Amino acid sequence: MARTVEVGWRSTTVNVDQSVQEDREKEIEAIENDPMVLIASGGWCGLMGAAGFRRMGVRALVIEKVPCVDNV
């Protein structure tokens, strides 16, 4: 979705979906490269802990031995 925004004296078109996706990819890369917390469980408690850390602004990396989370 493209949106026109005014930047100073000019207008420019910004691809909102692309910029959001790029921001998300940068955030994931930062977490993978330098996590503050390592959570060794992709189960319910591990995911809830990761969500809590995210709300606090703490980078947390969740690792799980099986390829799916919460044993689904």
What are the pLDDT tens digits along the chain (72 aa)?
555 555 555 656 656 667 778 888 888 888 888 878 999 988 889 999 999 998 988 888 998 888 877 665
* pLDDT at 17 (0 to 100): 67
* H or E segment and range at residue 10: strand 10-15
* pLDDT at 70 (0 to 100): 66
Calpha distance 5→8 (Å, rounded):
10
Calpha distance 12→54 (Å, rounded):
32
Domain chopping of the chain, boundaries: 1-33, 35-72
Q: Say what the pTM is.
A: 0.56
3-state secondary structure of 2: strand
Spell out the alpha helix ranges (H) of 1-72: 16-33, 44-55
* pLDDT at 48 (0 to 100): 93
Token pair 């100073």 in the structure block, residue: 8
